Amino acid sequence: MQVVRAEEMYEWDRKAIEAYGREGHILMENAGRTIAEQVLRDFSGEEKFLVLIGGGNNGGDGFVLARILRDKGKSVTAIQVVPDEKIKGDAQYHKEIYEQSGYVLDSLSEEDWDRNTVVIDAMLGIGVDGPLRPPFDELVEKVNASYLAKVSVDIPSGLPADEGAEDFQAVQADITYIVQAPKQSLYLDDTRGFYGEWRILDIGLPPAASPETGCRVWSEEAVRESYPAIPASAHKGTRGKGLVIGGGHMMPGALIMAAKASIRAGAGLTTAATVPAIVPSIAPSLPELMFTGVTETDGVITDIDAGILGGKDGVAVGVGMGRDPRSQSVVETLLTGTEGRLLIDADGLYHLKDLLSSLKEREGETVLTPHIGEMARLCDKEIAEVKRNPFSLSKSFAREYGVSLVLKGPATIITTPGGEQVVETSGNEGLSKGGSGDVLTGILLTTMMQHSSMKEALSNGCFLHGRTAELVIERTRTVYDIVPTDLIDHLSLTFRTME
Ligand SMILES: NC(=O)C1=CN([C@@H]2O[C@H](COP(=O)(O)OP(=O)(O)OC[C@H]3O[C@@H](n4cnc5c(N)ncnc54)[C@H](OP(=O)(O)O)[C@@H]3O)[C@@H](O)[C@H]2O)[C@@H](O)CC1
Ligand SMILES: [K+]
C-alpha cells in the first residue's frame, strides 16, 4: 500500500475520472457508502449520530454517509456547517439526493452536543489550507470538548495530510476512516495521535490509476514474499559472516546485545571487534561469538586493523563504542578503506558527523540507523524540524550521501540511496528503552548479509524487531517490563509466523 501526499491523492482521483471513466459523484458515493457501512459495523447499537458536513468533497462524503445511516433507520442529526453557496459539484449532487430522499438538514443547537452519542466529522478533508477560519475553528473546539465519540472521515478536520505543517488546530478523533490510502501525517510523531484508531477503507479507486508515490507501507505479506529461505545446501559460510565493532569498558552490554541479536537472527558466523578486557565477561554467555582485537587506549577503541574485515559479508560499527574523539578514526578507516556493506549506528553516527565528505565518497553500500535526535545532528536541523519533515529530510540526505537510511521511531522510515521509501510500523511503546537500537543493529547486520536487496533487508529487519516486540507482549511481557533482550530470545515467535 502506498503512502500519499494530498497532491498524489488528487492525481489518483483525477486519473480515475479522466482516464478510467469513473465519475466523481460515483467515487463520492463509494467513499460515503464504504465509510457508512464501517460505521454501522463499529457502532451497531442505539447510537445517535451528529453529522457535521463541510463545504468541500469531505462534506460531500458526509451527505452520502448521512443518507445511508438514515436509510438504515439510524438516528441522524445532519448539519451543513457552511452556507449553501459553498456547496458545489459532486457535493451539491449528493446534497440533492439527500434532500430528495425526504431527509432534512438541521441547524446546530447546544442540545445536539448532549442528546447525540457519536459525532461524525465530515467538515474538512485533505483540502485544508492554512489556519482554520470560522466556523471551523469554533466547531473543532466544540467537537474536542464534547463527550461524544468522535469519528473523522478521511482525516481529522484541520489536520494536514502532508508533512511539514507547523501550527494547526484539528479534531482529536477516536476513530478515523481513511479513504483509500494513508496520508503522510498518519506517520508523523506530532500528527499521528489525532487519528485515534484508524482504518484504511478501499473505496474502489482503480489501482492502475494510482500515482507512483515512491513510498509504501511494509506489510507481513511483503515480508513473506521477500524473506530468503535457507537453502538445504546452506552452511555457515553462506549465511553471512558478520563483524560487530564496538563495546568499550563502560558499555559492553550494547555489543553483547547486537552480537547476540545477529546470531539469533541467523547469521552464519558473527565476530566482535572490541577491547580485549571485556572479552572474558562476554564469552561465557555467548559461546557462538568469536572475537578479534582492536587497538585500544585507556579502554577506548582507537583503531582497527583493516585485516579483520577480510572475508566479512557485513560490518556494523558504533554500538557501545563511546564518543571519545579517538574512536573517530575507526569509522574513518571503515569509510575509506572498505567496500562491503557497512552499517553505522549509535556512537558511530556521532563520529560520522565529522566524516560526511568521506561518507559521500564511499563506494560500498552504507546504512545509517539514526533515531530522530541523531538524524537532527547529522543534517544540522532542530529535532522539531526532523519530526515535521522526516520523509523529505530523509530523502534528501540519502540521495546526497548515497546511503540507505533507517530513521527509527514509532513509524520507521527506510530510504534507499535513490530516494525510494518504506514505512515500517510494527512494534510498541515497550521498545522505548536503551538497548532496543543495539538489538536492531544486530538483526539488520544479519538481514543485510542475507538479502540481495538492501531495501528488503532493512524493511524485513525492522519488521522482525518490531513484530517480535508485539508478539512478546501478546504472550508474556507487557509494554512496561519488556526489555530488549526479550526480543533476541523470542525472534522465533516472528520467524514461526513466516513459515
Ligand atoms: N480520491 C479522492 O481524492 C477522493 C476524495 N474524497 C473526499 O474529498 C476530500 C477532499 O475534498 P476537497 O478537495 O474538496 O477538500 P476538503 O478537504 O473537503 O476541503 C475543501 C473545503 O475546505 C475549506 N477550507 C480549506 N481550508 C480551510 C481553512 N483553513 N479554514 C476553513 N475552511 C477551509 C474550503 O473552503 P473555501 O476555501 O472554499 O472557503 C473548501 O470548501 C477528501 O478528504 C475525501 O474526504 C472522496 O469523496 C472521493 C475520493
Ligand atoms: K474530516
Q: pLDDT tens, 228-271?
A: 999 899 999 889 999 999 988 778 899 999 999 999 999 999 99
- Quick check: helix, strand or coil at residue 371? strand
pLDDT of the residue at 299: 85
Angle at 447 between CA 437 and CA 355, to 5 degrees: 60
The contacts of residue 452 (CB under 8 Å, 6+ apart) are none
Q: Across the strands, what pairs with 290? A: 271
pLDDT of the residue at 437: 96
pLDDT of the residue at 196: 98
- Is residue 189 marked as binding? no
pLDDT of the residue at 308: 86
Smallest-distance ligand from the CA of 183: 1
Strands (E), 212-299: 215-217, 241-245, 269-273, 290-292, 295-297
For a pocket test of ligand 1, which of 58, 151, 166, 185 has the largest count of ligand atoms closer than 8 A to its C-beta? Answer: 58
Contact of 178 with 199, CB cutoff 8 Å: yes
- Is residue 337 marked as binding? no
Strands (E), 129-260: 149-153, 175-179, 197-201, 215-217, 241-245
Which residues, given as ranges, of the chain have pLDDT below 50? Answer: none
pLDDT of the residue at 309: 87
Residue 155 alpha carbon, nearest atom of ligand 1: 43
Q: Does residue 479 come out as left (phi exceeding 0), alpha (psi in the -120 to 50 range) or beta?
A: alpha
Contact of 93 with 162, CB cutoff 8 Å: no
pLDDT of the residue at 306: 77
Question: Positive or negative, the Cα torsion across 475, 478, 479, 485?
Answer: negative
Cis bond upstream, residue 135 (ω within 30): yes
What is the CATH code for 220-497?
A: 3.40.1190.20
* Nine cell digits for residue 338: 572498505
* Nine cell digits for residue 259: 552480537
Percent helix, strand, coil in the chain (nearest 5)?
A: 45, 15, 35
Pocket of ligand 1 (CB under 6 A): 9-10, 12-13, 27-28, 31, 54-61, 86, 124-133, 136, 153-155, 179, 205
Question: Positive or negative, the Cα torsion across 314, 319, 323, 324?
Answer: negative
Tell me which residue has its CA closest to atom 31 in ligand 1: 133
Tell me which residue has its CA closest to atom 11 in ligand 1: 57
Tell me which residue has its CA closest to atom 9 in ligand 1: 58
pLDDT of the residue at 298: 87
- Is residue 207 marked as binding? no
Query: In 314-371, where does DSSP find H-type helix?
Result: 328-337, 346-352, 356-361
Annotation: CATH topology of 6-213: Rossmann fold (3.40.50)
Smallest-distance ligand from the CA of 35: 1
- Is residue 247 marked as binding? no
Q: What are the structural domain ranges in the chain? A: 6-213, 220-497
Strands (E), 105-163: 118-122, 149-153
